[in-house]
Each structure stands twice: as C-alpha cells, then as structure tokens.
C-alpha cells in the first residue's frame, strides 16, 4: 500500500518528535540528578574544608556530652588530615568520616578509676553530617574502625563518593 508523500512526512516527523521527547525525559531522569549530586558533593567538600576547625571543636564538645564511653571524660581528640566523603544510600545524605585518636581520663565516681586501660589512646572515626548548606556533628565516634573499615562494615548503608 502506498502512502501519500505528505502522510509519510507527518509520520517521520512524529517519530522524530517522539524520539526527542524520550531523549529529553532520559536527560531529566538520569543526567540532571547525577549532575546535581556531583555539584552538591563538590560544594559539600569545599564547605567541609572551610568549616573544619569549627567542626572539630564541636565534635569534642558534643562527644564529651554523650556519656559514651560510660565513666570516661573526653580529654583530647586529635584529627588526621584525611577525610572520606560518603553518601547514606537511603537518604542520600552526605557525610564525612575523619580518623581520630582520642584520649580519655576516668570520671571521679564513674567506676573506671582503677582500670589501667583508661589512659590508652583510642582510634576511632569521627562522623560529620551535611544538610546541603552547612556541616554539623552529633559527636558520634565509631571506635576501633578507620573510615575505610567503617564503610566496609556499613556497606549496605554507606558508599564512598570522594576523599580529601
């Protein structure tokens, strides 16, 4: 069956329009969110560097108020320069993990005064949270794991997105 030339042009144009619409949808569904995530990561990494000194002080203050470990007082927290940026898989929240070395002393009446190991330095990972504008901390320390080990241990919920 032969179609009139005008009808063939309309069908070809319709296919082109459909293709263009599909391509536009793909761009907005796949490429744009990826670009936004990368832009947010870049902004977050930069902001972390600018806010780091404040964050380290806040971490020690917040961690000291948690009461963990029980019977110990946070005396000092030494931060390494390395930082590992991760994304929480379910929420997409950007976090930074920093290796730290923590010094404690026994709290008077806390039941730890006689424990020799109280004076031992403890390795941990400090956790910082990014809300899209500013970094914060709840004083969360993951003891006995460096950032890489933390991600491996929580691989179902965390993925590495950058380092610095």
Span 98-152, pLDDT tens digits = 999 999 999 998 888 889 889 899 999 999 999 988 999 999 999 999 999 999 9
Structural domain range at position 87: 5-163
Q: What's the domain count of the chain?
A: 1
**Confidence class of residue 2 from pLDDT cuts 50, 70 and 90?**
low
**Confidence class of residue 76 from pLDDT cuts 50, 70 and 90?**
very high
Quick check: 32 pLDDT over 50? Answer: no
Residue 104: exposure state from Cβ atoms within 10 A (0-12, 13-18, ≥19): buried
| 129 alpha-carbon distance from chain centroid | 6
């Amino acid at each position: 069956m032969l179609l009139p030339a005008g009808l063939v042009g309309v069908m070809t144009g319709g296919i082109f329009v459909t293709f263009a619409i599909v391509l536009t949808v793909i761009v907005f569904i796949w490429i744009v969110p990826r670009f936004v995530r990368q832009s947010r990561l870049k902004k977050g990494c930069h902001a972390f560097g600018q806010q780091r000194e404040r964050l380290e002080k806040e971490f020690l203050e917040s961690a000291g108020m948690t009461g963990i470990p029980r019977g110990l007082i946070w005396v000092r927290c030494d931060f390494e320069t390395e930082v590992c940026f991760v994304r929480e898989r379910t929420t997409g929240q950007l976090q930074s993990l920093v290796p730290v070395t923590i010094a404690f002393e026994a709290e008077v009446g806390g039941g730890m005064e006689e424990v020799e190991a109280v004076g031992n330095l403890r390795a941990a990972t400090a956790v910082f949270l990014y809300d899209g504008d500013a970094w914060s901390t709840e004083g969360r320390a993951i003891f006995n794991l460096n950032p890489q080990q933390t991600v491996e241990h929580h691989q179902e919920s965390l993925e590495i997105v950058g380092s610095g």
